[in-house]
Structure 1
Amino acid sequence: MYKEKLDAYIDAHKEDMLEDLKTLVRINSQKGETQPGKPFGEGPAKVLDTAEAMLKRYGFQTTNYDHYVVTADYSDQEKKLDILAHLDVVPVTKNWKETEPFEPVIKEGKIYGRGTADDKGPAIAALYAMRAVKECGVPLKHSLRLILGSDEECGSKDLEYYYAREKEAPMTFTPDADFPVINLEKGRLQKGFTQKLDSGRGASVLHIQAGTKVNVVPDTAKALVRGLIKEEVQKIADQRKNHIMYILEETEEGVAITAKGLAAHASTPELGHNAICGLVGLLADLPLETGKETWEAIAEMFPDDDFYGEALKIAMEDEISGKLTMNLGILNYDGTEVKGVFDSRIPVCGSDENVTRVLDQTFTAKGFGIEEGNMIAPHYVPADSELVQKLLASYEVYSGVKGEAQSTGGGTYVHDLERGVAFGCMVPEVDNHMHGDDEFMTIDMLLMSAKIFADAIVRICG
Structure 2
Amino acid sequence: MELKQLNQTINENLSFFQQQLSSVIQIPSIKGTAQANAPFGKQPRAALAAVLKIAQEYGLKTNQLADQVGWAELPGKSSNYIAALGHLDVVAAPLTGWQSDPFKLTLKGDYMYGRGVLDNKGPIMGALFALALLKKENYQPQESIRVIFGTDEESGSADLRTYNSVEQPPIAGFTPDGKYPVVYAERGMVRLSLLTKIQDQSASDIAAIDGEFSPSYLPDRVQLKFVSGQIQTYSGIKTPSNAPDLGENALAALAQAQRGRTGEIGKAFKWMTAATTDTTGSQIGIGYVGKASGKLQISVYGAAYLASTQQLRVDFSIRYPIELTREQLLQNLTKGLPKNSLLLINKVVAPLYRDPQLPMIQKMRSIYESVTGLDGTPVTTTGITYARSLPNIVAFGPSFPGQRGIAHKENEWLRISDWKKIIAIEYLTLKSLAESDSN
Pairs within 5 Å for 1:300-449? 300=271, 302-303=273-274, 305-335=277-307, 336-360=310-334, 362-363=336-337, 366-372=339-345, 375-429=348-402, 433-449=406-422
Matched to 1:65, the amino acid is L
What SS class does the counterpart of residue 428 from structure 2 fall into? helix
User: C-alpha deviations, 1:223-272, integer Å up to 9, x for none?
Assistant: 4679xxxxxxxxxxxxxxxxxxxxxxxxxx38754444444333233334
Counterpart Cα distance in 2 of 1:352 and 1:191: 12
Counterpart Cα distance in 1 of 2:51 and 2:299: 38
Counterpart Cα distance in 1 of 2:277 and 2:408: 26
TM-score (norm 1): 0.83
Corresponding residue for 1:146? 147
Corresponding residue for 2:171? 170
Matched to 1:10, the amino acid is I
1:50 aligns with 2:55: no
Corresponding residue for 1:104? 105
Pairs within 5 Å for 1:213-362? 213-223=214-224, 253=228, 257-286=232-261, 288=262, 292-300=263-271, 302-303=273-274, 305-335=277-307, 336-360=310-334, 362=336
Question: Shift of residue 15 of structure 1?
Answer: 2.6
Does the C-alpha gap of structure 1 residues 112 and 300 become closer, same or farther in structure 2, counting only changes over 3 Å?
closer
Counterpart Cα distance in 2 of 1:42 and 1:157: 16
TM-score (norm 2): 0.87
What SS class does the counterpart of residue 28 from structure 2 fall into? coil
1:25 aligns with 2:25: yes
Corresponding residue for 1:9? 9
Counterpart Cα distance in 1 of 2:159 and 2:24: 18
Counterpart Cα distance in 2 of 1:19 and 1:218: 34
Matched to 2:316, the amino acid is F
Question: Shift of residue 147 of structure 1?
Answer: 0.4
Does the C-alpha gap of structure 1 residues 283 and 124 become closer, same or farther in structure 2, counting only changes over 3 Å?
closer
Structure 1 contact 277–299 (Cα < 8 Å) conserved: no
Question: Shift of residue 321 of structure 1?
Answer: 0.6
Counterpart Cα distance in 2 of 1:432 and 1:311: 24
Higher alpha-carbon deviation: 448-457 or 3-12: 3-12
Does the C-alpha gap of structure 1 residues 136 and 310 become closer, same or farther in structure 2, counting only changes over 3 Å?
same
What SS class does the counterpart of residue 298 from structure 2 fall into? strand
Matched to 2:323, the amino acid is C
Counterpart Cα distance in 2 of 1:284 and 1:103: 44
Question: Shift of residue 347 of structure 1?
Answer: 0.5
Matched to 2:290, the amino acid is D
Structure 2 contact 189–318 (Cα < 8 Å) conserved: yes
Counterpart Cα distance in 2 of 1:213 and 1:168: 32
Corresponding residue for 1:234? none
Higher alpha-carbon deviation: 324-333 or 157-166: 324-333
Counterpart Cα distance in 2 of 1:139 and 1:280: 60
Matched to 1:343, the amino acid is S
Question: Shift of residue 88 of structure 1?
Answer: 1.7
Corresponding residue for 1:229? none
Does the C-alpha gap of structure 1 residues 195 and 426 become closer, same or farther in structure 2, counting only changes over 3 Å?
closer
Corresponding residue for 2:92? 91
Does the C-alpha gap of structure 1 residues 372 and 12 become closer, same or farther in structure 2, counting only changes over 3 Å?
closer
User: C-alpha deviations, 1:14-47, integer Å up to 9, x for none?
Assistant: 2321222122223232222211111112211122
What SS class does the counterpart of residue 31 from structure 1 fall into? coil
Matched to 1:58, the amino acid is Y
Gaps of 5+ in 2: none
Does the C-alpha gap of structure 1 residues 99 and 207 become closer, same or farther in structure 2, counting only changes over 3 Å?
closer
Matched to 1:358, the amino acid is N
Gaps of 5+ in 1: 227-252
Question: Shift of residue 70 of structure 1?
Answer: 0.9
Matched to 1:316, the amino acid is Y
Does the C-alpha gap of structure 1 residues 412 and 273 become closer, same or farther in structure 2, counting only changes over 3 Å?
same
Q: Once the two structures are aligned, what percentage of the paired residues are identical?
A: 27
What SS class does the counterpart of residue 147 from structure 1 fall into? strand
Structure 1 contact 208–221 (Cα < 8 Å) conserved: no
Structure 1 contact 84–174 (Cα < 8 Å) conserved: yes
1:460 aligns with 2:433: yes
Does the C-alpha gap of structure 1 residues 126 and 338 become closer, same or farther in structure 2, counting only changes over 3 Å?
same
Corresponding residue for 1:119? 120
Matched to 2:123, the amino acid is P
Q: Which has the larger radius of gyration?
A: 1
User: C-alpha deviations, 1:132-190, integer Å up to 9, x for none?
Assistant: 22322345322221101111222222112111212321212111232222222111111
Question: Shift of residue 80 of structure 1?
Answer: 4.0
User: C-alpha deviations, 1:84-121, integer Å up to 9, x for none?
Assistant: 01112222233476542333343324333332222222
What SS class does the counterpart of residue 92 from structure 1 fall into? coil
Question: Shift of residue 126 of structure 1?
Answer: 0.4
Corresponding residue for 1:182? 183
The RMSD of aligned alpha carbons is 2.8
Counterpart Cα distance in 2 of 1:110 and 1:374: 36
